[in-house]
Amino acid sequence: MDTLANPLIGFATDGSRWQQLANQISGTVITPQDPQYDTARRGFNLAVDQHPAVIVAAHTAADVQTAVQFAAEAGLGISVQSTGHGIISMADENMLILTSPMTAVRVNGAAQTAWVEAGAKWGMVLQATQPFGLAPLLGSSPDVGVVGYTLGGGFGWLGRKYGLSADSVNYFEVVTVDGRLLRVSATENSDLFWGMRGGGGGLGIVTGMEIRLYPVTTVYGGNLFYPVDMAHEVMARFREWTAVAPDELTSSVLIMNFPPIPDMPEVIRGKSFVMVRGCYCGPADEGEALLRFWRDWRAPLLDDFKTMPFSAVATISNDPVDPLPGLSSGAWLRELHDDVIDTIIDRAAPHNGPSPLIFAEVRHAGGAIARMDAAANAYGHRQETLLLQLVGVTPTPEVHEALSQFVNEFKLALQPWLAGVYMNFLEGGESRQRVQEAYPVEKYSRLMQLKAQYDPENRLRSGFNIPPAR
Ligand SMILES: Cc1cc2nc3c(=O)[nH]c(=O)nc-3n(C[C@H](O)[C@H](O)[C@H](O)COP(=O)(O)OP(=O)(O)OC[C@H]3O[C@@H](n4cnc5c(N)ncnc54)[C@H](O)[C@@H]3O)c2cc1C
């Protein structure tokens, strides 16, 4: 890294050089001297304070190719960002390529596919596809970037029925660090196609991709709220419910600590609940019948499960849309054993004071995800069915550090039950440290070989921390 960083001194401050780059692309070049610099270097997660040497807001694949060549001449490392929802390594002293201006989405209704540029968010794809009666495999938030999400796997509310987003890619268009523009599919550059579906963004810069779509316009989805002191019973019952759940149902159980902020409805403001949430993508009456398992058992405090247009799927998780400083962590759980439930309640529910977490959620995976041939692409842990995610807000670096320690201890307490990590739910230092836990040994070593082949000097530094094989 140091050998690459040294030559940039002088070059990066040579404004005329960046002016040349600006003259050759249709996008924008932003240097630390420019007034837009502070906005451009920001991501969704405001806890990330990165200082790239130069920022290139790309408008086309050709812009990305030109930018990559300039970065090589300057000896700069490269970082890529669309929304900044999942920053793993800060872009300090690198060229940061922003794909956010590249937002084209073109739907082919007959073929049930969409071409999506690298800066598109899921909400844009959802909006473009629903009029065709089709849906993409987005996650809980339509504000997340399509490409970053997919490179890490991509597990959303249609996951158990239709699999991961990575499993539904027909082809990628990719700029390699040496500036080539490649089509990457099952038949063209198939080694990269294997590695980019679940292996993260370390092998090349995706400028667009074609994805498959599915016939979903209406779902039966929502949340049940129970008192937090029922958490053990509810989680144990969730274990029973999901043991026989059809693939059409993707669901989760969580302890939710709603923050005491004024724009929160009073009924939930500052309060904690144990919640069951889910999305059933088959006929609504079947979804309703599945919910009787809960409604006939104990009346929830709040129950907003209903038939809804799939375009409203974001209301199930209600993830924040405005940038904020936060921390996300997680791990696969072997089972929702009583001891696991007790540990989650012990750490995530309030006891003599609030928990530092906003939520601790266990999502139910499996179904189509587990049925896909494990060798088909780089994604690991296909057989695991319970995914724990821990999320908190961290307004200062000190709070971030304290929460990071809290989360480590939480996971240490769960250690006997953990079965590896899901990279999309890790960020920053934890992501860099634990990447090997996301893959079986042979997949990880194949990803290292691919990195050695496509980026031997590790110039592309924002992807998962998988070094080139030596
Ligand atoms: C509110 C919220 C909800 C979420 N919900 C889900 C969910 O339901 N399911 C799920 O699986 N994940 C979920 N995630 C995690 C999310 O998928 C990851 O954080 C993902 O990395 C975000 O991608 P992005 O492009 O939006 O973010 P960015 O920070 O812009 O990109 C993340 C990383 O992806 C890589 N990357 C991005 N674009 C490119 C490109 N064009 N070429 C090469 N590499 C690239 C880079 O390595 C970059 O560091 C959620 C995250 C948040 C914050």
Residue 103 burial by CB count (10 A; 0-12/13-18/19+): exposed, middle or buried? middle
Residues 180 and 245 in one domain: no
pLDDT for the residue 263 = 85
Atom number in ligand 1 closest to CA 82: 30
Q: Atom 21, ligand 1: which residue's CA is nearest?
A: 86
Tell me which of 46, 72, 98 is where a domain ends. Answer: 98
pLDDT for the residue 2 = 33
Tell me which of 48, 77, 98 is where a domain ends. Answer: 98
What pTM, to 2 d.p., does this model score? 0.96
Residues 28 and 109 in one domain: no
Give the DSSP letter string of 54-71.
EEEE-SSHHHHHHHHHHH
Residue 10: strand, helix, or coil: helix
pLDDT in tens, 348-407: 999 999 999 999 999 999 999 999 999 999 999 999 999 999 999 999 999 999 999 999
Residue 14 in this model has a pLDDT that exceeds 90: no
pLDDT in tens, 195-247: 999 999 999 999 999 999 999 999 999 999 999 999 999 999 999 999 999 99
Residues with CB under 6 Å of ligand 1 are 43, 80-88, 99, 118, 139-141, 144-145, 147-149, 151-156, 200-201, 205-206, 319, 424, 462-463
Region 98-116: what's the mean pLDDT? 98
Q: Which residue has the higher pLDDT, 10 or 254?
A: 254
Residues 88 and 209 in one domain: no
User: Could you count the other beta carbons within 10 Å of the beta carbon of residue 120?
Assistant: 26
What are 83's two structure tokens?
């929304």
Residue at 468 is within a domain: no
Q: Judge whether 382 and 288 are in contact, CB under 8 Å.
A: no
Residues 134 and 272 in one domain: no
Residues 250 and 353 in one domain: yes
Residues 210 and 231 in one domain: no
Residue 67 to residue 42: CA distance in whole angstroms: 20
Residue 103 to residue 125: CA distance in whole angstroms: 9
Residue 226 to residue 255: CA distance in whole angstroms: 10
Total count of residues recorded for the chain: 470
Residues 236 and 334 in one domain: yes
Residue range(s) defining the domain that contains residue 79: 2-98
Instruction: Please list the residues that pair with 79 across neighbouring strands.
Output: 96
Between the CA of 145 and the centroid of ligand 1 the distance, in Å, is 6
Residues 193 and 263 in one domain: no
In the 8-state DSSP scheme, what is residue 201?
A: S
CATH number at residue 69: 3.30.43.10
Atom number in ligand 1 closest to CA 201: 44
Residue 90 to residue 41: CA distance in whole angstroms: 10
Residues 125 and 58 in one domain: no
Alpha helices, H only, 95-230 = 122-129, 146-151, 159-162, 190-196
Q: Atom 8, ligand 1: which residue's CA is nearest?
A: 139
pLDDT above 70 covers a percentage of the chain that reads 97
pLDDT for the residue 76 = 96
- C-alpha closest to that of 9 among 41, 50, 53, 40: 53
Atom number in ligand 1 closest to CA 204: 43
Residues 79 and 116 in one domain: no
CA distances from 242 to 157, 160, 163, 400, 402 (A): 14, 11, 17, 34, 34
Question: Residue 305: phi, psi to the nearest 5?
Answer: -65, 130
Residue at 466 is within a domain: no
Indicate the helix (H) or strand (E) that contains 307. strand 306-309
Between the CA of 299 and the centroid of ligand 1 the distance, in Å, is 37
In a 13 Å sphere around the CA of 361, the CA atoms on its Cβ side amount to 23
Atom number in ligand 1 closest to CA 84: 29
Question: Residue 350: phi, psi to the nearest 5?
Answer: -70, 140
Residues 350 and 204 in one domain: no
Residue at 462 is within a domain: no
Residue 431 to residue 285: CA distance in whole angstroms: 41
User: Which residue do the tokens 């074609």 mark?
Assistant: 210
pLDDT in tens, 114-148: 999 999 999 999 999 999 999 999 999 999 999 99
Mutate to test the pocket of ligand 1, among 424, 426, 430 (most ligand atoms within 8 A of CB): 424
Between the CA of 150 and the centroid of ligand 1 the distance, in Å, is 8
CATH number at residue 420: 3.40.462.20
Name the E strands within 135-288.
169-175, 181-185, 205-212, 218-227, 249-257, 272-280
Residue 13 in this model has a pLDDT that exceeds 70: no
CA distances from 342 to 124, 244, 277, 337, 427 (A): 40, 23, 20, 9, 26
Residue at 332 is within a domain: yes
Between the CA of 424 and the centroid of ligand 1 the distance, in Å, is 7
User: Could you count the other beta carbons within 10 Å of the beta carbon of residue 234?
Assistant: 27
Residue at 267 is within a domain: yes
Kindly compute the dihedral angle of the four CA atoms of residues 313, 317, 321, 324, in this order, to the nearest 10 degrees.
-160
Between the CA of 206 and the centroid of ligand 1 the distance, in Å, is 13
Residue 266 burial by CB count (10 A; 0-12/13-18/19+): exposed, middle or buried? exposed
Name the E strands within 355-436.
359-364, 386-393
Residue 129 to residue 448: CA distance in whole angstroms: 36
Residues 327 and 422 in one domain: yes
Residue 138 to residue 150: CA distance in whole angstroms: 9
Residue at 461 is within a domain: no
